[in-house]
Structure 1
Amino acid sequence: MHAKTRLSPQARLHIWAGFCTSLIGVGLSRFAYSALIPAIIDQQWFSPGSVAYLGAANLAGYLIGASGARPAAARLGSCNALRLAMLVAAISFFTCAQPASFTWFFIWRVLSGISGGFLIVLAAPTILPSVAVENRGFAMGLIFSGVGTGIIISGTLVPVLISHDLSWAWIGLGAICVVLMASAWFLLPSDPARTTAQSTANATGGAKSGNTPQKKWPEITVWLVGLVYSLVAISLVPHMVFLVDYSARILALGNGFGGLCWTVFGAGALCGPVTLGKFGDRFGFRITLIGMLMVDMVMTVIPALGDDKLLLLVSAFVVGATVPGVVSLILGWIHELIDDATARQQAWSFATTLFAIGQAIFAYVFAWMFSLGAKQAHHIYILAGIAAAAAMILTFIFPTLQSRLTRAGSRPATSSSAAE
């Protein structure tokens, strides 16, 4: 076990910049929209079905952003890509401040999702090298606690702004993004992206000389981690996208309780990353992930079991803690499994892409089920529990499965070599 060291002043500034990126890219750009949904429907900007599809559009954009973040960083530099993403996220709020066509909103919700994908994939790998190894779980927790902070801001501030005007809610959130962007703009650490890009170019050049390039990361390992991450994504979608409307309208508990659920969800998201990051530092990230998923496979199902307010609030808090907390755990697990910094960043980008694929596909599947009525809406939470259970089992058997698949994958190559 490592002895704890204090964060240096420089590391604290870098972590603050990372906190701002997660707050803008996910805490506000994605989750503030959930708090706006009841007002958007009540004021007839869009129908309930259209609102659900606009929520899913952000997740589709996140997939595009997660996939394109590393190529963009190689071309622009990580810091410039992060700054561009923060700027787009801020602009997206102002462009949605007045009623407009579904297409217009869809485009900007996708763009806000792309910016979120950039910010999540690039921020932590850019910042963590400036943090001591034994403090990285804690640092990741601080960075990703921006997600919970954004949810709390949206759960408390949005109702106040909506009471004046829905347009003011969009403008107010955009103004917060601008302030956060300005405070983080010059605090990002020196840009490692071009060094990474040069290393990649050198590796490509080496291949031309006839040498066989080595794999950047162990494929089976990263595929398994990515599969776990994508299953967790599926389990989180119902709470992330539909919780407010589900509790307020489907369970008939009213908009007030829906807003309370969202605030409690945000409180969990604020506490989760730091707490789970500390557990990861102490007990190991895979073990912590198993424990978290054992709890989650129960908590994700609770909304389907009835309208008990206390249980719903507990479910909101626990799943809220998981939403950003699992980001810290998966990234920490990758750091445990892979030593090379470039390979870790590749693996993190790949795993985040798989997370985004699961999230985006099932956001649309669940949006379709949600639009069918109360009975189908209940079923999405049952499916979420099944996905969490599958992720827990896969994480638990990971060492055995990894070993067997690695041996199985090596046999054809060995047999082929012997035949030659």
Structure 2
Amino acid sequence: MKAWCNSAAGSIPGLCGMAATLTGVGIARFAYVAILPVLVQQGWFGREAAGHLGAANLGGYLLGIGLAALLARRYAPGWLVRWAMLLCALSLFACAWRGGGMPWFLFWRVVAGACGAILMVQAPVLILPRVAAERRGRVAGLIFSGVGLGIVAAATVVPSLATFGLVPAWLGLGGICALLTILSWNQWPGTPAGTPASAAAPQAGRRGCSGPIMLLCLAYTLNAIGYLPHTLFWADYITRELHRPLAAAGFFWGCFGLGAACGPYLTGVLADRYGLTRTLGLGFALKAVGVALPLVATGTPALLVSSVLVGFFSPGIVGAASSYALEIGGAAQHRRNWTAMNLCFSLAQAGGASAMVSLMAGRSSYAVLFWISGAALAVSALCVPAIALLRRQQAARGELDAVTA
């Protein structure tokens, strides 16, 4: 992994530790998608209860965003990253004990979600300020690719271990996460590097960008609803509704993870070449196609394309959206705008997950969820040209010095 990190982004202190850490985040947060049908098949929980456990993880993510801001005032980011990673591993080990019942599992799924959010917020703070501006997009892509690698690892391990029972599956996932924790433990600096002076300088025209920022926030919020069917129910949909074996569900979830591993870096390459507006609009549109595809086709090629497209643009859109917020809102307001966007995303994610679980109670088909999420992503895609139009109007009124189409 170290050689790969260095060849892709140059020698950057802590980058390999970040890659290992966010791989652990992918396992702790998203392995549940692969393991959910096994929980139901082996009688640990009913389908609705298992769905609520998945929603609890997303609720924990919302909690973790608030905790990250609170704890960062008292503790060094390196300390937070280490202990959040340790708790992620512990949450997986804890789920191997069936005797605690629903309250036990709810608690530890919330812990996994909260620690995942802390890692996603704090880990980049320790690395990106140390990276030269011309390499930041590539490095940011590598950061979020770690989540996809974790999904691939979980999709590979769960079907194999689940043949021996759920306890070995949980322990195996916890063991991988613990190993990643050990490997990255000493690679984290204690404090973040200072932000370059150029990053703190305000950009011209930020006062006129409130409308575009609000539209971008709406698009990013709807994006949270758009990816929920795949990240909560994809494996269960394939096994229960399509009557395919668990190994097939693991394969398609692995394809999702492979897309998620490649998506952030390649999306950054596309943005550098074609611009953020085109890349983000195309990303939302293709993700909508991927989510809606099971409504018209359920063969292996359709499931493969759906898995890869949604996986590719789920983390891939994150880096592009953050960069677009920086471009249209200015560096001086970027932290505030990005925090607001993540808060709205988390609220939509947690609320949408609970609503979808309730909506599926008593239903035999997931089609309604694909309709809802596909429509949400279609609106996200429409927001991007609307943002560009607003910026052109602002430029015509002299409110912006320049517009990047």
Tell me the TM-score range normalised by the shorter chain: 0.7 to 0.9
The letter of the residue matching 1:295 is L
Post-superposition shift, 1:359?
Answer: 1.0
CA distance in 1, matches of 2:118, 2:65: 6
Aligned match of 2:338: 348
Q: Which runs of 5+ in 2 are unaligned?
A: 1-6, 197-205, 400-405
Larger Rg computed on CA atoms: 1
- 3-state secondary structure, aligned to 1:76: coil
Relative distance call for 1:217 and 1:246 in structure 2 (3 A) is farther
Post-superposition shift, 1:380?
Answer: 0.4
Aligned match of 1:286: 277
Post-superposition shift, 1:109?
Answer: 0.5
Aligned match of 1:414: none
Moved more, 62-71 or 377-386: 62-71
Q: Which runs of 5+ in 1 are unaligned?
A: 197-214, 411-420
Instruction: Indicate whether 1:236 and 2:236 are aligned.
Output: no
Residue identity over aligned pairs, in percent, reads: 34
The letter of the residue matching 1:335 is L
Relative distance call for 1:180 and 1:234 in structure 2 (3 A) is same
Aligned match of 1:316: 307
1:330-367 Cα offsets, whole Å, 9 max, x none, are 222233335537x4333322211111111111111111
The letter of the residue matching 1:400 is L
Aligned match of 1:202: none
Post-superposition shift, 1:107?
Answer: 0.8
Aligned match of 1:90: 89
Equivalent of residue 385 in structure 1, options 366, 374, 385? 374
Aligned match of 1:180: 180
1:375-417 Cα offsets, whole Å, 9 max, x none, are 4x2110011110111001112211334687999xx9xxxxxxx
The letter of the residue matching 2:344 is L
Relative distance call for 1:405 and 1:269 in structure 2 (3 A) is same
On the 8 A contact 1:274/1:325 being kept in 2, the answer is yes
1:162-208 Cα offsets, whole Å, 9 max, x none, are 12231111111111112212222232345239999xxxxxxxxxxxx
On the 8 A contact 2:62/2:346 being kept in 1, the answer is yes
- 3-state secondary structure, aligned to 1:191: coil
On the 8 A contact 1:22/1:144 being kept in 2, the answer is yes
Relative distance call for 1:298 and 1:260 in structure 2 (3 A) is same
Aligned match of 2:108: 108
- 3-state secondary structure, aligned to 1:75: coil
Relative distance call for 1:194 and 1:72 in structure 2 (3 A) is farther
Post-superposition shift, 1:234?
Answer: 0.7
Relative distance call for 1:404 and 1:19 in structure 2 (3 A) is same
The letter of the residue matching 1:308 is G
Post-superposition shift, 1:217?
Answer: 12
Aligned match of 1:159: 159
Aligned match of 1:120: 120
Relative distance call for 1:354 and 1:82 in structure 2 (3 A) is same
Aligned match of 1:203: none
1:34-74 Cα offsets, whole Å, 9 max, x none, are 11112111111111110011001000111111233222212
Post-superposition shift, 1:221?
Answer: 5.0
Relative distance call for 1:102 and 1:356 in structure 2 (3 A) is same
RMSD: 2.7
